Amino acid sequence: MEYGIVVEGGTKLKVPAGGGISKSEEVFYNPHMALNRDLTVALCRILKPKTFADVMAGCGARGVRVVNEAKVRVTLNDLNPKAVDLIRENAALNGVEADVECTDARSLLIGRRFDYIDLDPFGPPVAYVDSVLSAARWGNIVGVCATDTSALCGSYPKACVRKYDALPGRYDCYNEIGLRILIGFIARSALRHESGIEPLFAHCTRHYMRVQVRLTSRHSVSQRQISFLQYCPECMWRAYRNISNLESKCVCGGRLQTAGPLWNGAYADPQICESVSNEVLGRAYACRSEAAKLLGLVQGEQAVNLPYYDIHQLASRHSQEVPRMSDLGDQVRKAGCFFARTHFSNVGFKTDMPHESVTALLKG
């Protein structure tokens, strides 16, 4: 098998020459996750954890970057012996030291504690979340990545129910619902460990969803931020409701659909977003422009917790021409309401304007 050298940020990495994302490759490496790794490194440089564990490290790209660029003590683990050999090579290539292990991720975490634990499996993370949470205390950080977006976003609802114990929604805001289901799953898992969660930064990009949370003692607060989303496919009305007050009919007469349980609160900390943005713009990160744009959009979205609207679907549903996004935004703000573009979709927007007022604007 052939290997080559790539550079991410300030770190050299020996990786499979073919890209490393095929199951036929000896060691896993995904070049499309450079943005993901940039954000992890930046977050580590800001929060300064003492210890970091990448429990499914592949070639070690994330962990070697963390120790090399953020100067954090790292533990890198992979079940593949060839990956472990490559991790050691990559650490040596950058002149850094790392604790390297070759075992199942769940076995690695038994009786261990880390300030920051990163879980990035090739597929759903559900089988490992409890083990990760058992190795973290209040104040520690947990990063979770999911690449089974087809289940979370509603293409395979039975798979979502089976894996995440939640109903997805194939609505205009399907990917935000999927992200909120993932956060809700982590929050419900944390509650079993007597912990709450505080999302630091979460996003949906390309083929994956990424969530980074801090564990807290405020589990009662997290419990209140888990509910259901009710959605009307006729008029596109949406609202969060608890299980005790779910309804079957919308005011327009349409039959309501229900997604969840899911997270109904903010999925990022605006101050963290700003700090990470300043960090990535101030250094030579691999995806600095893309990262800064993403951080800015996610930061702006946190003023409204209801899922976004797709402007094309909204106009079509109400038999109206699609307005320019800037014109609609001006009208919404003129009415004294919040309006922001969203990272979930180029044709999506968030607003706190009542649904009936949004549709009235479309109709002129």
Residues 180 and 291 in one domain: yes
* CA diameter of the chain: 66
Residues 323 and 218 in one domain: no
> Which pair of structure tokens corresponds to residue 330?
């001006």
Residues 219 and 313 in one domain: no
CATH number of the domain within which 323 lies: 3.30.56.70
E strands, 43-154, in order: 51-54, 73-77, 99-101, 116-119, 141-146
- Please report the pLDDT score of residue 127 as a whole number: 97
Give the range of the structural domain holding residue 9, as residue numbers without chain letter: 3-301
d(CA 5, CA 90): 10
Q: What share of the chain is helix, strand, coil (3-state, %, to 5)?
A: 40, 25, 40
Residues 287 and 343 in one domain: no
Domain boundary among 301, 323, 351: 301
Residues 156 and 32 in one domain: yes
CATH number of the domain within which 277 lies: 3.40.50.150
Residues 191 and 294 in one domain: yes
Residues 37 and 94 in one domain: yes
With a cut of 70, list the residues of the chain below it in pLDDT.
1, 18-25
Tell me how many domains the chain contains.
2
Residues 230 and 148 in one domain: yes
Residues 254 and 315 in one domain: no
Residues 233 and 328 in one domain: no
DSSP code for 249: B
pLDDT digits over 8-60, tens only?
A: 999 999 998 866 555 556 788 888 899 999 999 999 999 999 999 999 999 99
d(CA 315, CA 193): 45
- Please report the pLDDT score of residue 116 as a whole number: 98
Residues 129 and 95 in one domain: yes
- Please report the pLDDT score of residue 19 as a whole number: 60
- Please report the pLDDT score of residue 20 as a whole number: 52
Domain boundary among 248, 266, 301: 301
DSSP code for 167: B
Domain boundary among 301, 326, 345: 301
d(CA 242, CA 319): 32
d(CA 104, CA 176): 31
- Please report the pLDDT score of residue 23 as a whole number: 57
Residues 132 and 210 in one domain: yes
**Sole residue written with tokens 């990917």:** 175
Question: What pTM does this model have?
Answer: 0.95
